Structure 1
């Protein structure tokens, strides 16, 4: 941000705060244009539930996990907002950035600010590194989620993937499974970038749908049987119902536009395949439920810590 602010070409306050660009996507409805643009923020502020999957390895999880989720989200939101403001004020010609031969506008912006390929590469390095080391957090989180689901007999070949390595004290088989699937998905990009993006588009859509399910049931419980809720250390009190209601409305709104095509007219390469890919994944889950799952699944394992 310091380099951007010192070297970047200045835009006016009107450009940053009042100008609304509507001629890039092919869509003409401003509501649709705004909603598609909002998806970037929806993606970057998702996955905050990852720490939940580490709960069984966290001391005082009922307090530590919610605090980690809230503070992680707040800190990242503030930093991202600051970076976005600095970027808008110093980005230079945004059309030139969009037409960058690299395919990545941020690289063109850094190059326009510094006039140096080496400096642009150095400024890109922290962004690339953040993606690299966050992938290790994702592997740790999803491997625990896979292990927990396998332990509860909800996963195919559950007895095999529910194993915990006695030497390393981690679910090593689940970790290798998640890593292998990730590598195989990455290899799709060699054959078809459209197919690769189709799989990636499932990510945020599936996450938001998974967020909506517990919020819906919590909202129903708050309205119909508030006395039966066993609260943890934190309680929203009388704000619970309006907050859950807003979360449902926002999540539903985002879910509608997540599979929305980003450009118009829609082509095979520009199509957003999130919805059909989600449908295929859901179909496999339903088939597994009727073939195997309903015979073994008895709900999640709940263990109460000794007092």
Structure 2
């Protein structure tokens, strides 16, 4: 066998093995590459635009100093569980992302629901923000216009339906579309930072920006700092987006963890850079803190031209809108994966891939329908609506940390070989710190932002979290999911039950492969085993079982059989 043939077979088996490890043959077209996946993760996260909405919160908790240092602290706290998540995504790549039956069915079921609730509320938040911003921009044009809640809801519906149409009807172009959205976001980020830095010669002193602490939250300074770090972690609730496209990219065990880590680090860099540019440009923090649209006051204080301010606000609104299709795409894939594993009512219907569009249309439409109905809460009470979407941060980080905690209980030696390997010592430290951080901040997420508090300013995230947990338990016990939900089948679990004496066709049936796919996979696996049998004793033993003792190799020539047997026996 020539070297090019060996390389081709190696890449084919490595790519396909990642998908088969989750227990499923390829169901989705592989249209994403590493760069388009990274662009997708960056576009969905778009940390700097989320920072623009959190600026007044940081200023309330500690003034300039809090707004400067909190983004760094929250980024570091979020990167740690992201590393653990990236390792798990490398070990078990699937559209389900962070939930897996290696954590037992109940744990996998719970983590799956946490992730689904996270993304449903993320879709709602990424859609309501541009709807509100659009109404505010209209108010700038027409000062006498007073947008009502139902009008904002109708804008919300338009953006949601637009995103749904893109996900369903433009599926083949989504990698390119997300790449365009990514570059648009990064270009807007650079424009905002340079404009804020250069437009106004009057700047805040460095001592003010980095050291001026003014806590108006009513909490003690230490508590205020921790609560603000928790709010800053909202920017990183989307770091698992790339994991839910694992079945739409070749070599997901390699590319998905890369996308997670790179997107998270870039989010931290953009977050800090945008915050510093805004803080140096701000002239009056009291005006920013009292504003319903803080970014407008930051821009108007820094830029003397009203037209330039309006142009930047419209650009910011477009970047916000561009996050909606990616969030919906992610949610639909996650809901589809969960339905495929029997986790939802009418799972066969929602776990179906459309033959026409090659996407999980039913799962995507289910996600859209939920968000449309949920948005009606905004008309009745913005407090209730904001409480629900704020709980996304709790569900997100619990879904990142629970699998890592269960991994610690099971032992890190249970992980299969993987591209992104944190190692025994460093990996254990990452998992422990992730669990501790998320446990602490999950409690802090439920505290009110300021004291004394009132009915309208109270934080009801704890109520939502408890109610969601009770509904998950009821679905597990009373909804029959304890019997029907099995989760994705792991290749490692299947291999444990394989009898070395059975034929390769029997093994293929155990792996749920179609005959044609089984033939291709069997031949290529045997070829790769042959290649590595002369290099690694670990592969030699496996090859000896499959190839020498069983004497079944209908896909290799007699010369290859003889050469392989002589090589193994001589070693």
Does TM, normalized by the shorter one, top 0.5? yes
- Residues 183-222 of structure 1 mapped to structure 2, 5 A cutoff: 183-222=372-411
- Aligned position for 1:131: 320
**Matched residues in 1 for 2:331 and 2:393: separation?**
15
**Matched residues in 1 for 2:215 and 2:259: separation?**
38
Return the match for 2:438 from 242, 251, 269.
251
- Aligned position for 2:427: 240
Change in 2 beyond 3 A, CA 1:117/1:189: farther
- Residues 13-162 of structure 1 mapped to structure 2, 5 A cutoff: 13-23=206-216, 25-27=217-219, 29-100=220-291, 103-162=292-351
**Structure 1 residue ranges without an equivalent (≥5):** none
- Residues 263-274 of structure 1 mapped to structure 2, 5 A cutoff: 263-274=450-461
SS in 1 for 2:244: helix
Task: Report the CA distance between 1:121 and its aligned residue.
Answer: 2.3
> Is structure 2 residue 417 aligned with structure 1 residue 231?
yes
Return the match for 1:295 from 483, 489, 493.
483
CA contact (8 A) 2:244 2:330 kept: yes
TM-score normalized by structure 1?
A: 0.92
CA contact (8 A) 1:261 1:270 kept: yes
**Matched residues in 2 for 1:190 and 1:110: separation?**
29
Task: Report the CA distance between 1:296 and its aligned residue.
Answer: 0.4
CA contact (8 A) 1:54 1:141 kept: yes
Task: Report the CA distance between 1:106 and its aligned residue.
Answer: 1.5
Q: Kindly provide the CA deviation profile for residues 118-157 of structure 1, in whole angstroms up to 9, marking residues without a partner as x.
A: 3222222333223211121111111111011101101122
Bigger fraction of residues in helix: 2
- Aligned position for 2:543: none
SS in 1 for 2:464: helix
SS in 2 for 1:284: helix
CA contact (8 A) 1:5 1:90 kept: yes
**Matched residues in 2 for 1:19 and 1:33: separation?**
15
- Aligned position for 2:447: 260
**Matched residues in 2 for 1:68 and 1:118: separation?**
37
Q: Kindly provide the CA deviation profile for residues 35-89 of structure 1, in whole angstroms up to 9, marking residues without a partner as x.
A: 1221332000222011111111111100010011111111121111111111111
- Aligned position for 1:280: 467
Task: Report the CA distance between 1:228 and its aligned residue.
Answer: 3.0
Task: Report the CA distance between 1:95 and its aligned residue.
Answer: 0.6
CA contact (8 A) 2:391 2:464 kept: yes
**Matched residues in 2 for 1:45 and 1:188: separation?**
25
**Matched residues in 2 for 1:55 and 1:68: separation?**
11
SS in 1 for 2:337: helix
CA contact (8 A) 1:212 1:251 kept: yes
SS in 2 for 1:289: helix
SS in 2 for 1:169: coil
Larger Rg: 2
**Matched residues in 1 for 2:378 and 2:344: separation?**
27
Change in 2 beyond 3 A, CA 1:118/1:39: farther
Runs in 1 of length 4+ with deviation above 3 angstroms? 301-307
CA contact (8 A) 1:152 1:301 kept: no
CA contact (8 A) 2:281 2:301 kept: no
CA contact (8 A) 1:42 1:254 kept: no
**Matched residues in 1 for 2:277 and 2:211: separation?**
16
- How many residue pairs match? The answer is 300
**Matched residues in 2 for 1:243 and 1:295: separation?**
34
Give the CA RMSD over aligned residues: 1.7
**Matched residues in 2 for 1:230 and 1:186: separation?**
42
TM-score normalized by structure 2?
A: 0.51
Change in 2 beyond 3 A, CA 1:232/1:293: same
Task: Report the CA distance between 1:231 and its aligned residue.
Answer: 2.9
**Matched residues in 1 for 2:238 and 2:253: separation?**
19
**Matched residues in 1 for 2:385 and 2:400: separation?**
24
**Matched residues in 1 for 2:413 and 2:350: separation?**
38
